[in-house]
Structure 1
Amino acid sequence: MSINTASTPAVVGSSRDAPASAPHRPPRRAAWAGVVSLGLGIFTLVASEFLPASLLSPIAADLGISEGTAGQLVTATSVIGIIGGPLVVSALPRIDRRWVMVALTALAVLSNVLVSIAPVFGLMLASRLLLGLAISGFWAMSLAVTAQLVPADRLGRAMTIVNMGVSLATIAAVPAGAFLGELVGWRTVFLGAAAAGIVALVVQLLTLPSVPPTGAPGFRTLVRTAARPVVALGVLAIVLIAGGHFIGFTYLRPAFEEIGGASPAALAMLLAVFGVASFAGNLVAGPIADRRLGVLVIGAPTAIGAATVLYALAGANPVAAAIAVVVWGAGFGAIPTMVQTWMARVAPDRLESSGGLVVAAFQIAITVGAAVGGLLVDSVGVQAAFLGGGVAAVLGAVVLTAAKAR
């Protein structure tokens, strides 16, 4: 399969499956303002997703439930994400994508408001399902929308801006939620998240231009896209790479506690270092993806694999563990931009469907990775989880390279 990386993403394919002509792009400044608005939207959505992780104790105490039950508020958004992205792409085939993104942001605002006033856990859980749908749909559509705003040879840079929202939210949401929860109460924190969503909504209305849908509509197109061998291999590779990351990352704390002299403060510092390294990895991923995508396809997953193995073997050496976390964070920070750019190259006529499949693959990876990691930790030991995760990540890079070669 020959890929012209400088072509416009949405014009390849049969006349039945793709638009007849390239989309008309807005002026450059307006286009990049729209890209920034998508990044801001992603930031507010992902920050809302992570907030309960820092507020479980007060939520549980207020509602009279266990902290384990309260933790399902986080799980719910991930589970719905497996079907949410493909569902939004398939169910809204002909609506201007500007209004789809605005509506999904509004849905997240509604979710946070409902959580802030929910008198019982059931209503709160249902509200979080709405957020999961908003996040997965917004992220799934972001690739196709961004590809219509910027030239194809700038798509990697543009997706870096969009995914910067994920990196910033990962770094800031949990500590900010914990601090503000103590200061003003957990319900007010969710109202604040709703206010941030309104800001993102207004910015989108002011900057995001009209974006027509791309490709053939409906669920059938999604199935046909998933049935393409190169796309199916890409989805498998994403599950392996991201799943390998979560096999180890989910059990970072018990592994770190095996290092002599480890303390909760040191663990917090280690997680902060991971977040900063992840942000840096995302920043450099865009230009590399635009110019040397093959290098990034091999380099980022290999960095995860090497880092997890080093972390597993660090033993009582906190310096080695810190180095491993820096490399690991940088590698994983590059993954979202890398896989989205890769999908745009191999399926330029099916950007919306492939975007939905990417989101579903990430959510499957989170669920499966945590489960497999738990089995390895319980049956063999925490080192086995890290070694297994490293092997899976490198194997994913091999699959992705082989798929591109086809």
Structure 2
Amino acid sequence: MPASEALQQAAVGLPPTSRPSPSASVPLRSWFALAAVAVGTFAMVTAEQLPMGLLSPISGAFDITEGTAGLMVTVPGLVASATAPLLPVLVRRADRRIVLISLMALMAAANLVSVLATDFAVLLASRLLIGISIGGFWALAAGIAVRMVPAAYVGRATAITFGGATAANVLGVPAGTLIGGFSSWRTAFATVGGLGLLVVAGLLVLLPSLPAGEPVRLRTLAAQLRNRAVRTGVLTTFLLVSGHFAAFTFVSPVLQEVSGISPATVGPLLLVFGAAGILGNFLAGAVAGRDVRRTVTVIASILALILAFFPLAGTGPVGGTALLIGWGLAFGGVPVTVQTWILRSAPRDAEAATALNTAVYNLAIALGALLGGLVVDAATLTAAPWTGAAVALLTAVTVRLTRDTTP
């Protein structure tokens, strides 16, 4: 089995399989359709996290604090956490192709509202629509790969669809920040909205009809919480992600005010953060397949150290840049590692368990951003990375204390 294929399967938590049979061919159109879904997840996650790199200009434009501006991350995260498990239940037997296209169109429209917003209340309302679209899209897109390719190719296809979200987690915010730096924050929102329209066109042309199978029911979702390994995995996801976003929501002002980095340099530096994150994704994917518990512990410990030392050792451009790269490398491994944990914990209920974990992931983004905002407004900007460090350390302790739930 080629190393690249083994890495792809490890990246989604699937056990290695034999080489695909030559007779099990996949039409090129199917691969293009999966790529379109991947670009869709990239656009959705980018739209959700876009304000993180633009808090300073947005807060200045509406004369609000950066902590208040952080609500642009909290609101869609809270809405998405509710939408992810509920929308598959609500749409029941609707054609998934139609639902996915509708949700992508809603995301594009919401970003247009953001571009035209004349006050912060309107901007926040548009972010609520983003939450609806991302929660539903990701919950349904997670199961697309299984339906579009033969079993021997599921690992590769799932790696493609999950790759869109992974790329957005590490590149979406830096790219938006860079666009906002060269032009304006409104241009950044317009760019993501335009990407959404392109994805709508791609899905219309490439994605086949996807009639619903057995509908997801609330009791199926609730049953996942009786699985101890799933419960621990979901708690791990919540702690790791909320701790990261308590700090990362304010990465732009931290780099400027703590590290003394110019606003024009923040965007390019966040792209470096993203590149480090991609490397971290593949490194974690390679080792999580062998020992997912140890991988989570190492990632949480590294994050705790980096965030704890940021206000102390990141007080200059060199120190701030070095710590930012290490931060990206560590967090880049989080999505693939927690997904590996979840899929190994519930191999027969992967769709329901993934929907639950997606809901918790988005809830963690929202509450992490909210926690960071409250801390920044109540104390100082440097308290945000220290808060993230404390939560990351709590993650490592939690994983250590729950050794009997290894998936």
Residue in 1 aligned with 2:178?
175
Q: Which amino acid aligns with 1:110?
A: A
Question: CA 1:175–1:379 in structure 2 vs 1: closer, same or farther (change >3 Å)?
Answer: closer
Residues in 2 aligned to 1:316 and 1:126: alpha-carbon distance in whole angstroms? 36
Unpaired segments ≥5 residues, structure 2: 1-12, 18-23
Deviations 1:9-63 (A, max 9, x none): xxxxxxxxxxxxxxxx9816444333321221122223333455638757985xx
TM-score by length of 2: 0.76
Q: 3-state SS of the aligned residue for 2:184?
A: helix
Q: Which amino acid aligns with 1:180?
A: S
Residue in 2 aligned with 1:67?
64
* 8 Å contact kept, 1:314–1:321: yes
Residue in 1 aligned with 2:238?
239
Give 1:369 shift: 2.9
Residue in 1 aligned with 2:8?
none
Q: Tell me the matched-pair count.
A: 380
Residue in 2 aligned with 1:385?
387
**More off after superposition, 367-376 vs 242-251:** 367-376
RMSD: 3.9
Q: Which amino acid aligns with 1:47?
A: T
Residue in 1 aligned with 2:10?
none
Residues in 2 aligned to 1:28 and 1:345: alpha-carbon distance in whole angstroms? 29
Question: CA 1:91–1:373 in structure 2 vs 1: closer, same or farther (change >3 Å)?
Answer: same
Give 1:250 shift: 4.1
Residue in 2 aligned with 1:144?
143
Residues in 2 aligned to 1:116 and 1:387: alpha-carbon distance in whole angstroms? 34
Residue in 2 aligned with 1:32?
31
Residue in 2 aligned with 1:19?
none
Match of 1:157 among 156, 159, 165: 159
* 8 Å contact kept, 1:215–1:350: no
* 8 Å contact kept, 1:297–1:401: no
Deviations 1:70-103 (A, max 9, x none): 6644432222122121121221232333332222
Question: CA 1:330–1:189 in structure 2 vs 1: closer, same or farther (change >3 Å)?
Answer: closer
**More off after superposition, 387-396 vs 114-123:** 114-123
Question: CA 1:215–1:285 in structure 2 vs 1: closer, same or farther (change >3 Å)?
Answer: farther
Residue in 2 aligned with 1:132?
131
Residues in 1 aligned to 2:288 and 2:209: alpha-carbon distance in whole angstroms? 27
**More off after superposition, 30-39 vs 264-273:** 264-273
* 8 Å contact kept, 2:307–2:386: no
TM-score by length of 1: 0.76
| Residue correspondence of structure 1 range 146-295 to structure 2 within 5 A | 146-149=145-148, 151-154=153-156, 157-158=159-160, 159-181=162-184, 186=186, 190-211=189-210, 213=212, 217-250=216-249, 252=251, 264=263, 270-289=269-288, 293=292
Residues in 2 aligned to 1:190 and 1:261: alpha-carbon distance in whole angstroms? 27
Question: CA 1:387–1:199 in structure 2 vs 1: closer, same or farther (change >3 Å)?
Answer: closer
Question: CA 1:173–1:258 in structure 2 vs 1: closer, same or farther (change >3 Å)?
Answer: closer
Residues in 1 aligned to 2:375 and 2:73: alpha-carbon distance in whole angstroms? 23
Residue in 2 aligned with 1:395?
397
**More off after superposition, 261-270 vs 81-90:** 261-270
